[in-house]
Chain A
Amino acid sequence: MSAVPKIRLRDVHKAFGEKRVLNGVTLDIPAGQSVVVIGGSGTGKSVLIKSILGILLADSGAIEIDGQNVTDIPAAQRGAVNKKFGMLFQGAALFDSLPVWENVAFGLIQGEHMDRTEARERAIKTLGRVGLAPEVGELSPAELSGGMQKRVGLARAIAGDPEIVFFDEPTTGLDPIMADVINDLIVACVKDKGITTVSITHDMQSARKIGDRIAMLYEGKLIWIGDAKDVDKAANPYVDQFVHGRAEGPIKMQVRK
């Protein structure tokens, strides 16, 4: 067990104008652990991940990766930190001007300056790991179904052998069977490889399957953090309401605001 956590968040704040989204998030994630952040829509789960990735800048607080404070490092060093990351976006975010294989190989070609033929072979191999045939590599992303796009997004996220992979709602918008396929792929390609992961979801089945630990984000704070197996019997009324999907409870849906 290494003493330095892979990801460390210390009192992270982020607001957009008047609207406070993150209001003091603190969390340590040891290497190899899989953390799932649950919470309602619009609670700031994506903002949290984007702050760690450096896509958004936190207003205050500290974000450390492998003990290095990355909260406001210069852009030149950002690239080196980002090489440790892989990210599967909510809508897959595939580049629609490029064929599938070049999407998967993008980080290898642009980030690591790998030769195109070599990168292409690696991409085809990675597509195989997520259960896609080599022919899929020639298609354009627009020709793929939602589930296939997510798989390609997963392949792109893991192609560069990242140390940390982020998943933003990997199963949202998929049918239950395809959702489970994606969960299994995440477990097989990432979790079982000892890669640290941070996932966002409001799909509890997915959370139980891919998470070692679960944290619940509510009103800008992590109000509950615990082992994935304890989430169903959590004493916290907020967690209880969310996990069991009840309309009645302490969480009031903000219809306005």
Chain B
Amino acid sequence: MLNFLTLIGRVVLGFVGHIGRLVIFAGTALSHCVRPPFYPRLIASQMVDIGYYSLPVVGLTAIFSGMVLALQSYTGFARFSAESAVANVVVLSMTRELGPVLAGLMVAGRIGASMAAEIGTMRVTEQIDALTTLSTNPFKYLVVPRLIAGLTMLPLLVLVADIIGVFGGFLVGVYKIGFNPGNYINSTVDFLEPLDVISGLVKAAVFGFLIALMGCYNGYYSKGGAQGVGAATTNAVVSASILILTFNYIITELFFAT
């Protein structure tokens, strides 16, 4: 019994310690975001990596989501006054929820993992120590470019995902169900409020930051060779995905729950 309590205590302490270290890590990284030197080359290359090279994955996810939304909402509950209802469901679901969440989860798998693996390998092969001895701050050189790129690129990706998703819904609506194209587009635009899009983009920025943060944090503190880097990679993806779903709820509540 005592052993069991000790075990629980250790797990709780470990968890609290983890959170504390993460908060300090995030604070340090943010403070370096606003102090020179900056590395525009590295920021740009991270932006290309996160923004441009994620487009195919995010685009495919978005188009099929938009298509299936149209199909489901038509067969499910909108056979009467169908056109406006289907368009409405598709555009609201995409911009508010599915765009940011699906893009976030896909990018977490793609980018969070590669960040953790790269920084983790640099840690266990002493490359991060080498940066310090060459008068280069690892936070500024490694972490800040990734955070900035994550924060700025995810909203752009989500904007693209929104458009592609709505287009997917349009395809199904017009060519499969047989709606009038003009009416469908009108209904889409009529129902859309700026806040729907804006809330999605705010979510995307937060998700992008979280993905980069978890990738960098897990990589930065990885230890113990190849196995440690593997564990860091897994932790980065899992923790980023959980945080994305958690913050998705919190931000939705902040925007729409009044």
Contacts and interface: CB of A to CB of B under 8 A. Distances in A.
Interface string B100-128: 00000000000000000010001001110
A93 B134 contact: no
A250 to B, nearest CB: 31
Interface string B37-75: 100000000000000000000000000000000000000
B126 A86 contact: no
A106 B136 contact: yes
A55 B129 contact: yes
Contact of A89 (B37, B118, B126, B136): B126
A91 B126 contact: yes
Interface string A89-107: 1110111110000000011
Contacts, number: 56
A44 to B, nearest CB: 16
Nearest to B118: A97
A110 interface: yes
B130 A93 contact: yes
A96 B125 CA distance: 10
B227 interface: no
A119 interface: no
Interface residues of B, number: 15
A82 B125 contact: no
A111 interface: yes
Assign chain A's interface to a size class.
20 to 34
Contact of B135 (A91, A110, A156): A110
B130 A95 contact: yes
B133 interface: yes
B125 A91 contact: yes
Nearest to B121: A96
B135 A93 contact: no
Contacts of A111: 134-136
B141 A110 contact: yes
Contacts of B132: 53-55, 82
A87 B136 CA distance: 14
30 contacts: A50-B129, A53-B132, A54-B132, A55-B132, A55-B133, A75-B137, A79-B137, A82-B133, A85-B133, A86-B133, A89-B126, A89-B129, A89-B130, A91-B126, A93-B126, A93-B127, A93-B129, A95-B127, A106-B136, A107-B134, A107-B135, A107-B136, A110-B135, A110-B136, A110-B141, A111-B134, A111-B135, A111-B136, A112-B135, A156-B134
